[in-house]
Structure 1
Amino acid sequence: MSISPRIIPADRRAARTLGVAAAVLFAVSLALFWPGYVAYDSLAQYAQATSGQYEDWHPPIMARLWSLFGDHGPAPMLAVQLGAYWLGLGLFAAALAARGRRRAAWIMLAIGVWPPLLGWQGVVLKDLQMSAALLAATGIVGWWRLRGRRLPGWSFTALVPLFGYALLVRANAPFAVVPLIAMVLPWPMGLARIAVALVGTVAAIGVASPINHGVLGAHRTGVEQTQALYDLVGIGVRSGDAAVGLPVATLDAIRAKRCVRPYFWDPLGEPRRCEALVAPLRAEPAGTLYVRLAGMILRHPLAYAGHRLAHLNSTERLWVPRHWLGAAPLRASEPNTLGFGEPGALARTWQVIGAGLMETPLGWPIVWVVAAIAGLWCALRAQARGRGDDAVAAALFTSALTMEASFAVISIASDLRYHLWTLTATAIGWVLLGPRRWPRAVTLLLVAMVLIGGVARAILPEAPQSYVGMLG
């Protein structure tokens, strides 16, 4: 049963102050990062948005949205991205202030100013679009639930498009979005939430292709083959079994050229590296590849586990060298012939600060996974009190953990931007909870992760600092 907290006039004034502060921070952030950084992926999507020719290698929903703004570059999408980002944080902060938790409210806004998170929000990318949309949607829910109120029916006119966009803007988004929806909406289902989350996630994955290719008109590029290809070749290189679909001599050549990298799948698709060697697999339908992959997992479970754990370690950034590529927010846009400008010197300084912070344990996804585990344990124990804070926090921690768990089996690259929702959701969850006593076992686990990561960065040789260098 929900407990409606008493809201006094002073708290209402504080809530308005926090709302104004969030609006000011949005304006300052927009000015700082105007007209936005663009990455390689951004340029590809902009080309689709302006040409009207859509492909499924990148989410067509983002290109379709971008097309509504015409050929005005990244600036309109930057405004949308930062607007959703600060809307969500502002609603959370205002709701906390309305509850009398003013210190927590200001800390909530401080999360948004943290250089790594805000720095990445200055980059127009699908990962940041997902994070911003989820943050806006969760902030709307939090505005009502944290004050002990029911969500009004009209709120779903904003929640449905925000959650829907987040679902479609990244291939692995269902693992974050569906559990969040199942946990955050106040329906009295108890343990049935787990079943709803599982069924909903499978359903969301199943309907993505018909929506992308049918409703949104995206042409097929073979992107759905990449996960199966990466895992099949990974198993083949470790086991030497030609049943993966490649001759033993080809597997030996792939192994000799070190084309299977824990960091990413890209060498297998690069003409300069191994594209020709895996061409027989690329010629097969995706369904055939996944059926074969299932059989190879059963046949060589240790080879598969070794391959996936190596990648999981890379993407969670545990036993990796200093400056593992892809953590720092961009300091410059991808070179292009479109004449796009980029943020100025102050933004570059901000990004340098963010890059430095990302080299600390606060920039290691594995540390945030442990923090989310501790947060979920605390939130679930406290939910009996009926506070909306605990329920929303539990939903955020669950979303962060299910997203991270998906990387164990569905992930082909180690860029830190894939983990930004986990960092954001976990930080917000802990602000909602306030100070809590962590389980001793989780505290020891956190200490172990920091020590292991610190030793790795002290003794391992520094990784190449370019994409070409990481290709080998």
Structure 2
Amino acid sequence: MVRARSSAGSVVGRSRSPLPWAVAAALLFCAALAMRFPGVAMYDSVTQYQQAASGSYDDWHPPIMAHAWALLNHIHGGTGPFFLVQMLLWWSGLGLLSVALGQQRRHGAAALVLLVGIAPLWLGWTTVVLKDAQMACCLVAAAGLAGYWRFDRRNMPISAVVLTALLLIYATLVRGNAVFATIPFAMALTGWPRRDRLWVQVLAGVVLTLAVLAISPFINHRLLRAAPSGVERVLPLYDMTGIAHYARLPSIAAVPPALWAESEQKGCYTPYYWNPYGEDRQCGGIGTAAVFEDGAEPHLMRDWIGQVLRHPVAYARHRLSHLNSNLRFWVRGSEPDAIPPIDSEPNKDGLGARPTAGARLLISAATIMLATPLGWPVFWLAIAGALTWASAGRTEPQARLGRALAISALCMSGSFAVVSIASDLRYHLWSMVAAALALILLIDARALDRRRALISGGLVLAVVAIGLVARLGAAAPVYIPVMPPATASTS
């Protein structure tokens, strides 16, 4: 038995060598590389790679990823280096957690942590070189560092603290709404503010979140030299189109009444996403007038708030309809944008490679997982809420990390009720993984209040039952406007 001394001077027993769990994580890392190297590039990935190669950045996608990619291009071009970084973060984080649990003789929990890593839907998405995957991989690595040092009550060394902070900062900047996950995670992990009153903790979280959102444009535009793209205007535009649709308004700000009437006749509004208003072949004129055009409506934010206040019922219908689609709750079982891509977006930059047999098997398994509650964001949101409530008051290291993961998942997926514009399943990658890890850690630590766990477990089962009824045909198919065919170009 290896024995280590804690910072307080007490002797902490370790049950066995970390080697088996470290080797298992390393083997799974190698298997992931063999299946998907050099990674998969989606449309967003191709755009960011082109910015990295050209040195010309905008803020439509968080520019920190493009800058990081530009640095990696000095080592080797393409998706390979970034894919390797993502897999190192993913498997090192999960490996550290499994090692920490194995050293405490919690072998079942250690194995389940690695099982989360090979869950095909989640592994499929983490092998895509994409901001959502990078956010999840960074936070998994941060959780692994915290668990490795804190499960046996050791103080984290300065190097581990600095690395964890850097991972949290990068994760915050690599997705526009990541702050809703990273701030609650950091606060719950550190136990700050050290007050028992919930309202103090909520107020501190809201203030920090707003502060980060306020300084993010400065970081993107000044420090990272990204040109403004108008991306911050898309959410107000989408909300205003939703309100106008449900309230049957004749027009919205910055959009001529005839153009709005035409878009309604075409059926461009959908609770699924905002995209038709940014697509030239659908209703792109609305996006151009309100978002992309030079000198676009200068009072859009003011008009947005005013329209929400004047039509709260229509706003609520729009946001609830979108949230349902986003969380994939009362929906059919064949929603798009859920299965990880097996191949890269066609591109001229040589990104990606032909899929291997292993990759095809992985994506087939991901399709099966997607058909179960394990692939529903709403299921994991319910789990996260249940764990947050049932673990209140527990402060042991393993329980604290589990609770921090649950709170982060709850806040991230919950934020889509007000700040979302699309329903891609990958947006919930971190939330689903964090809730799964929280479930393992909190049950293993016996950190759940029995009465609360039984009540919340019943609510989770109710969510599953309703979702199954919807998928058996009770829900209407998701509505996505049909893209008109492209007209042939003439030279």
- Bin the TM-score by the shorter chain: over 0.9
- Contact 1:259-1:274 at 8 Å conserved across structures: yes
Corresponding residue for 1:90?
95
Output one character per residue of 1:348-397: Cα deviation in whole Å (capped at 9) or x when no partner. Answer: 1111111121121111111111111111122214x1xx411111111111
Q: How many angstroms apart in 2 are the aligned matches of 1:419 and 1:79?
A: 22
Who is 2:487 aligned against?
Answer: none
Q: Is 1:35 aligned with 2:38?
A: yes
* TM-aligned CA distance change 1:144 to 1:165, over 3 Å: same
Residues 306 and 339 of structure 1: CA distance in aligned 2, closer, same or farther (over 3 Å): same
Residue of structure 2 equivalent to 1:163: 168
Partner of 2:397: 388
Query: Unpaired runs of 5+ in structure 2?
Result: 1-6, 485-491
When structure 1 is superposed on structure 2, of 34-43 and 278-287 the one drifting more is 278-287
Match of 1:369 among 372, 381, 384: 381
1:75 corresponds in structure 2 to: 80
Q: Which moved more, 1:122-131 or 1:235-244?
A: 235-244
Work out whether 1:260 is the aligned partner of 2:269.
yes
Looking at structure 1, the residues matched to 286 and 422 of structure 2 have their Cα atoms a distance apart, in angstroms, of: 20
Report if the CA contact (8 A) 2:59-2:226 is conserved. yes
C-alpha contact 2:65 2:174 (8 A) present in aligned 1: yes
Alignment of 1:17-416 (within 5 A): 17-70=20-73, 72-187=77-192, 189-190=194-195, 191=197, 192-242=200-250, 244-245=252-253, 246-282=255-291, 283=293, 288-340=299-351, 341-381=353-393, 383=394, 386-416=395-425
Change (3 A) 1:465 1:302: closer
Alpha carbons 1:37, 1:342 under 8 Å: kept = no
Q: Which amino acid aligns with 1:107?
A: L
Residue 457 of structure 1 aligns with which residue?
471
Q: Aligned partner of 2:355: which letter?
A: P
Distance in 1, matches of 2:482 and 2:77, equals: 29
SS of the residue 2:284 aligns to: coil
Distance 1:241 1:6 in 2: 70
- Root mean square deviation, CA, Å: 2.4
Using the size of structure 1 for normalisation, the TM-score is 0.92
- Per mean C-alpha deviation after superposition, the further-off stretch among 351-360 and 446-455 is 446-455
Asked if structure 2 preserves the Cα contact closer than 8 Å seen for 1:4 and 1:148, the reply is: no
Separation in structure 1 between the aligned mates of residue 434 and residue 34 of structure 2, nearest angstrom: 25
Q: AA paired with 2:379?
A: V
Percentage of matched positions with identical amino acids: 40
Distance in 2 (CA, whole Å) between partners of 1:74 and 1:86 is 18
* Amino acid across the alignment from 1:20: V
Structure 2 CA distance for aligned equivalents of residues 327 and 442 of structure 1 = 27
Which whole-Å CA distance do the structure 2 matches of 1:440 and 1:4 have between them? Answer: 40
Aligned length: 464
Q: Given that residues 339 and 366 in structure 2 are in contact (C-alpha distance below 8 angstroms), is that contact kept between their aligned partners in structure 1?
A: yes
Tell me by how many angstroms 1:150 deviates.
Answer: 2.1
TM-score by length of 2: 0.89
Unaligned runs of 5+ in 1: none
- 2: distance between equivalents of 1:468 and 1:362? 31
CA distance in 2, matches of 1:360, 1:380: 29
Q: Give the aligned partner of residue 4 of structure 2.
A: none
Looking at structure 2, the residues matched to 106 and 128 of structure 1 have their Cα atoms a distance apart, in angstroms, of: 22
CA-to-partner distance for each residue in 1:200-233, whole Å, 9 max, x for gaps?
1111111111101110111111111111111111
Matched residue SS, 1:343:
coil
State the Cα distance separating 1:162 from its structure 2 match. 0.7
